[in-house]
Amino acid sequence: MSDLIVLKFGSSVLQNEQCLPAAVHEIYRHVRAGRRVVAVVSALGNTTDALVARAHAWCDAPPAAAYAALLATGEAETAALLSLALDRAGVPSEILDANRAGLRTEGPICDSRPTALDRGRMLRLLDRVPVVVLPGFLGRDNDERTTLLGRGGSDLTALFVAWQLQAHCRLVKDVDGIYDCDPATNPQAARFSRLNWEDAAQLGGAVVQPKGVSWAQERGLVFEVGCLGSAAGTLVGPGPNVVAESEPARSPTRVVLLGLGTVGLGVYRALCAQPDAFEVVAIAVRDVASHTDHAPADLLCSDALDAVRRPTDLVVECIGGTSVAVQAVQLALDTGRSVVTANKAIIARDGRGLDERARRSGAALRYSAAVGGSVPAIESVRRLAQSGVIDEIEAVLNGTCNFVLDRLHDGVSFDDAVVAAQKAGFAEADPTLDLDGTDAAHKLAILAREAFGAELVADWIDRSGLDKLDLAEIEAADGGRVRLVARCRRTPSGLQASVRTELRRANGPLGSVRGEHNAVTLRPATGRTLFISGKGAGRWPTTEAIVADCIDLRALAARPATAVAV
């Protein structure tokens, strides 16, 4: 598959604003797999019908140009809302309207055909951000008027963009592919894993408009139809037709959640929003009475180890610390329960040992959120390490420190900057481990294991955090930016690792990282340097990474694993 993918989200998927996080999950799973994404969107739910009614309330035969301009507001609103949802989750994106995208059309204003795209601009944007959001259904004609692509126009937009960019195209629908008959009325309906264009146009009319299928066939474009969160789907192309093997119905993955704090509550709400996929069966908290407003009382308990012993498939650890967290994670893995955690301290200290426990019991351990929030740092390091030798990692890994440093550059006092970070939810009540560089050292140790296969002891990494910062460095920055830089590199004498404050160019890769954002630069022995960035602190970026791990584990399992009784 190309590293470029076009995902189209229609109104059947985006029925209202509450559906936007599900689209974010779908986009993010491709981003963390190393793909650049163009997200093409339709108007939410019945928005287009409502806009049509508004137009006809003014006149029986609305002028085409005014009619098109009014209907275009539906897709534009969805694109803006999706970009906001991506930003909350810590996934950088940029919106392109039809004009900026150079999406030109010809033909009638309300039933146009796409003819051109500014391919260079879109590719340049995708070099800067992993996601571009584009309203579907819309274009611009040679008179600079807004045009509509007619019925099925958003599908056509996605197919056209994919063809122009030579990208894979996945039309995300509310069904997992094209069937030989309506699966809603016939339980014996069979899904095609491959289907030729001619039959797709005939059978898929309720899912994919024949106009889009015919357009793809004329250009030999192969595309995919599938649903949110699933790798399954129907590949539409030259054929031959292949019926997918029937799959047994799956029960939701049972989840025990440890912790219901800032991140834990975000994870709980995200999992509850996917009831067909996940069922939270227990939540361990320190004080049950203080959490009854957030979750049903019958799910709450005060003993993390007791919660882990309950019948479950997956344990999500969000309590932090090392003592109870380590015991709970070890117990879960030893008894065959898979684990997702954001706890960088236990992964840095005993990640290899926990991986071994998981291997012995047949469980799985995932910890993407332990480094960088929703920045896919671990996944990127793994991919690059598999393709060749990494010479150096250089990164800004602590959002709290980055936020505080920005405030210092703005002239705020150190104490006030820390308080502001705490109020914003980026710093703990006791921020010592952030400010002294311990947190960044833990994260660097995890990345070093993935990149170099080396076990770095975080406490032995040379570090000098903000607690040792001379404020004169800020005053002397002269337009530059002081950053807490974590570095690990190969040298003739072995690996050298450090965490220390450094002055960087304000417009450089690490110097330009602002606020709670994290960034990672990976330098391979040969080839192009890789730079990734995004929000590395806060509820929603961490939640996004944890939920992505949960979705991955569910997708990997043919059915929920049966845990060992204790």
Query: Which active-site residues does the annotation give?
Result: 443
Concatenate the DSSP letters of all residues of 34-95 into one string: T-EEEEEE--STTHHHHHHHHHHHH-SS--HHHHHHHHHHHHHHHHHHHHHHHHHTT--EEE
Q: Which amino acid is at 152?
A: G
CA-wise closest residue to 353 among 368, 334, 380, 377: 334
CA-wise closest residue to 424 among 402, 448, 439, 393: 402
Report how far Cα 342 is from the mean position of its chain's Cα atoms: 15
Query: Mapping DSSP to helix (H, G, I), strand (E, B) and coil, where does residue 369 land?
Result: helix
Task: Let me know: does 250 contact 560? Beta carbons within 8 Å.
Answer: yes
Handedness of CA 168, 172, 177, 179 (dihedral sign): negative
Task: Let me know: does 474 contact 502? Beta carbons within 8 Å.
Answer: no
Report which DSSP code applies to 6. Answer: E
Handedness of CA 288, 291, 296, 300 (dihedral sign): negative
**Helices of type H across 89-118:** 98-101
Task: Pull the structure tokens for residue 175.
Answer: 């069904």
Q: Whole-angstrom Cα distance, residue 507 to residue 479?
A: 10
Q: Whole-angstrom Cα distance, residue 323 to residue 317?
A: 12
Q: Whole-angstrom Cα distance, residue 149 to residue 133?
A: 18
CA-wise closest residue to 222 among 6, 19, 21, 63: 6
Q: Whole-angstrom Cα distance, residue 13 to residue 219?
A: 27
CB neighbourhood size of 381 (10 A) = 24
For residue 240, whether the previous peptide bond is cis, meaning omega lies within 30 degrees of 0, is yes
Q: Whole-angstrom Cα distance, residue 41 to residue 54?
A: 22
Task: Pull the structure tokens for residue 356.
Answer: 């071994």
